[in-house]
């Protein structure tokens, strides 16, 4: 399976990972190898087989509609939420200005 440099750059862009042309060229055969290897799955006849949805049978539990019922998953913790922010101002996270 061959992957070209342009594809690598497109995927890197989708994944928001900056990549130089050299790195993209270097990664292309690496990724190509891995993708070629995983293509072996094409051999498997999966007609009529459902994709796995739950590893161990279990049902989705729903939560009660109570604000801050569990302090660990509730709000009102702005200090904690901003504590590790690289740039925080006036109670907001700050990022380079976005123009829409």
Partner 1 sequence: MSDYRIQGETGEWEVVVGLEVHAQVTSNAKLFSGAATAFGAEPNTQVSLVDAAMPGMLPVPNRECIRQAVRTGMAIEAQINKWSRFDRKNYFYADLPQGYQISQLYHPIVGEGAIDISLDEKNPDAAGKRIGVERIHVEQDAGKLMHDQHPTQSYVDLNRSGVALMEIVSKPDLASPAETGAYLRKLRSILRYVGSCDGNMEEGSMRADVNVSVRKPGDELGTRTETKNVNSVRFVMAVVEQEARRQVEVLEAGGKIQQETRLYDPDRNETRSMRSKEDAHDYRYFPDPDLLPLVLDDAFLAECRASLPELPDAKRARYEALGITAYQATVLTAEVEAARWFDALLDAGVKPAAAANWTTSELFGALNRTGKDIENSPVSPAQAAELLGLIADGTLSGSLAKQVFEVMLETGDGAAKVVEDRGLKQTSDTGAIEAVIAEVMAANAEKVADYRGGKDKLFGFFVGQTMKAMGGKANPAVVNEVLKGMLGESVAS
Partner 2 sequence: MTDLTDLGIAGIRDGVRDGSFRAREVADAFIAKVSKAKALNAFLVETPDHAIAAATAADTAREAGETLKPLAGVPIGMKDLFCTKGVTTTAASHILEGFTPTYESTVSQNLWDAGAGMLGKLNMDQFAMGSSNETSAFGNVISPWKRNDGGNASLAPGGSSGGSSSAVAARLCPGATGTDTGGSIRQPAAFTGISGIKPTYGRCSRWGTIAFASSLDQAGPMARDVKDCAILLEAMAGFDAKDGTSLQLDVPKWEAGLSANLNGLRVGIPKEYRVDGMPEEIEALWQQGIDWLKDAGATIVEVSLPHTKYALPAYYIIAPAEASSNLARYDGVRYGIRDLPTGAGLQDMYAATRADGFGPEVKRRIMIGTYVLSAGFYDAYYTQAQKVRTLIARDFERAWETCDVLLTPTAPSAAFALGEKSADPIAMYLNDVFTVPSSLAGLPAMSVPGGLDKQGLPLGLQIIGKPLDEQGVLNAGLAIEQRAGFTARPEAWW
Q: Which residue has the tokens 């939560």?
A: 63
Nearest distance from residue 2's CB to partner 2, in Å? Answer: 13
40 binds partner 1, rule: CB under 8 A? no
For residue 67, give the DSSP letter: T
**70 contacts partner 1 (rule: CB under 8 A):** yes
Question: 30-57 in b/e burial notation, b at 16+ Cβ within 10 A?
Answer: ebbeeeeeeeeeeeeeeeeeeeeeeeee
77 binds partner 1 (CB under 8 A): yes
Could you give the C-alpha distances from 48 to 43, 76, 84, in angstroms and in order? 15, 49, 48
Which of positions 10-29 make contact with partner 1 (CB under 8 A)?
A: 10, 13-14, 16
Residue 19 near which of partner 1, partner 2, none (CB within 5-8 Å, type-dependent):
partner 2
Distance CA 92, CA 13 (A): 27
# residues contacting partner 1 (CB under 8 A): 42
- From partner 2, partner 1, none, interface partner of 90 (C-beta below 5 to 8 A by class): partner 1
Task: Give the footprint of partner 1 on this chain (CB under 8 A).
Answer: 10, 13-14, 16, 53-54, 58-70, 72-78, 80-82, 87, 89-100
């Amino acid at each position: 399976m061959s992957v070209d440099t342009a594809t690598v750059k497109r995927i890197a862009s989708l994944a928001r990972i900056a990549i130089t042309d050299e790195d993209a060229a270097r990664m292309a055969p690496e990724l190509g190898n891995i993708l070629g290897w995983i293509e072996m799955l094409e051999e498997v006849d999966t007609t009529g087989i459902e994709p796995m949805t739950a590893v161990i049978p279990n049902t989705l539990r729903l939560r009660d509609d109570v604000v801050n019922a569990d302090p660990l998953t509730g709000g009102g913790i702005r200090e904690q939420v901003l504590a590790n922010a690289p740039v925080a101002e006036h109670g907001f996270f700050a990022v380079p200005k976005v123009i829409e």
